[in-house]
C-alpha cells in the first residue's frame, strides 16, 4: 500500500497538471464525454442535434446568422470542430483578397466554412466541397441549402479526397483550383497536396489554406511546404476553435510553380 505521506506528496503535482492542462481536459469532456452521453440519450449524432438547433434558431437564407447560430451552439451546447469566428476572419479576408473563381474545400463537415466562403465569393465563382462521411455530408447539404446556396454555387462531393481529387477534371469539371481550403484529416494534408500537384490542379499563384497545423498538427505537410521550393508560406497564429486557451494555427501557402 502507498503510505499517506507519499500520496500527499503527489497532490501538488496532480493539481499542477490539472491547472496546466485544464483546457485540454475541458476539451475532452465537451468533445468526447458529453457527445457519448447525448448520442446515447438522443439516438442521433451531435451534428444532427446541431442542425436541429440551427433549424429552430437561425434565419433561413441568412448565411451570417446561420454561422452565428453555429457558434452559439458550439460555445454553449456541444463542441463542434467548425472553423469558429477567429479563424473565419482569416479565411474570409483571404477569399475577398484573392477573389477566386474556383474553390476546392477538403473536409466539409457541417458546412460552416463552406457557407463562409460561398457568401464571400465573387459573382460567377464556384465552390467544390469534398466530404468523405455520408452522414456529415447529409447535414452539410441541408445547412448549405438552408443558407440559400444552390448546386450552381456549391457542389458537395461525397467521397474520400484520395479518390475524388484524381477525378475532379473528368467527373466534376474542375480543371484548376484558384483557392484550396484544407480542413479534413491532418495526416492527409501532404498526400492531397501532392495529388493536386500531380494532377495539375494548382495554377501558378493558387492559395492553399490549411487549418489545425499546430493542434493536432500536420508536421510532415509543413516540412514539405518549407523544403520543396514550390511554395511561399506563412503561419497565422490562432487558438483552437472555441478554446482560446489552446494554441493553434493556419498555414497559408502560395504555389509558385517552381522548381
Contacts of 53 by beta carbon, 8 Å cutoff, 6+ apart: 69, 73, 77
Give the pairing of strands 126-131 and 243-255. Answer: unpaired
Nearest to 115 by CA among 99, 95, 135: 95
Q: Long-range pairs for 25-33 at CB < 8 Å and ≥24 separation?
A: 26/243, 27/79, 27/240, 27/243, 27/246, 30/78, 30/79, 31/79, 31/81
DSSP string, 79-112: -----HHHHHHHHHHHHHHH--SEEEEE--TTSH
Give me the catalytic one of 47, 48, 141, 241.
241
Give me the catalytic one of 47, 131, 211, 248.
211
Task: State yes or no: is 211 an active-site residue.
Answer: yes
Please report, for the chain, how many H helices and E strands are present, in that order.
12, 7
Give me the catalytic one of 46, 186, 192, 248.
186
Q: How far apart are CA 85 and CA 108, in angstroms?
A: 17
Nearest to 238 by CA among 26, 15, 38, 87: 87
Task: State yes or no: is 71 an active-site residue.
Answer: no
Task: State yes or no: is 48 an active-site residue.
Answer: no
Give me the catalytic one of 82, 141, 212, 248.
212
Q: How far apart are CA 112 and CA 161, in angstroms?
A: 19
Give me the catalytic one of 131, 183, 192, 248.
183
- The DSSP symbol for 121 reads S
Task: State yes or no: is 186 an active-site residue.
Answer: yes
Give the pairing of strands 231-240 and 207-210. Answer: unpaired
Task: State yes or no: is 241 an active-site residue.
Answer: yes
**Would you name the residues annotated as active-site residues?**
183, 186, 211-212, 241
Amino acid at each position: 500500500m502507498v503510505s499517506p505521506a507519499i500520496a500527499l506528496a503527489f497532490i501538488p503535482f496532480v493539481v499542477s497538471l490539472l491547472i496546466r492542462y485544464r483546457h485540454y481536459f475541458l476539451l475532452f469532456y465537451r468533445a468526447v464525454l458529453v457527445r457519448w452521453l447525448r448520442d446515447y440519450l438522443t439516438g442521433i449524432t451531435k451534428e444532427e442535434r446541431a442542425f436541429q438547433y440551427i433549424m429552430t434558431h437561425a434565419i433561413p437564407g441568412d448565411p451570417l446568422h446561420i454561422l452565428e447560430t453555429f457558434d452559439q451552439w458550439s460555445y454553449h451546447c456541444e463542441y463542434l470542430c467548425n472553423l469558429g469566428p477567429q479563424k473565419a476572419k482569416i479565411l474570409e479576408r483571404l477569399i475577398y483578397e484573392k477573389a477566386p473563381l474556383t474553390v476546392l474545400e477538403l473536409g466539409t463537415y457541417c458546412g460552416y466554412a463552406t457557407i463562409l466562403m460561398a457568401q464571400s465569393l465573387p459573382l460567377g465563382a464556384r465552390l467544390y466541397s469534398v466530404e468523405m462521411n455520408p452522414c456529415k455530408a447529409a447535414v452539410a447539404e441541408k445547412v448549405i441549402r438552408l443558407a440559400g446556396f444552390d448546386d450552381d454555387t456549391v457542389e458537395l462531393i461525397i467521397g474520400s479526397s484520395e479518390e475524388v481529387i484524381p477525378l475532379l477534371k473528368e467527373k466534376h469539371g474542375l480543371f484548376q483550383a484558384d483557392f484550396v481550403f484544407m480542413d479534413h484529416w491532418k495526416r492527409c494534408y501532404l498526400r492531397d497536396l501532392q495529388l493536386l500537384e500531380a494532377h495539375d490542379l494548382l495554377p501558378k499563384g493558387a492559395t492553399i489554406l490549411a487549418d489545425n497545423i499546430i493542434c493536432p498538427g500536420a508536421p510532415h505537410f509543413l516540412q514539405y511546404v518549407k523544403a520543396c521550393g514550390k511554395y511561399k508560406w506563412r503561419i497565422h497564429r490562432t487558438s483552437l476553435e472555441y478554446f482560446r486557451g489552446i494554441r493553434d494555427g493556419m498555414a497559408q501557402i502560395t504555389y509558385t510553380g517552381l522548381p
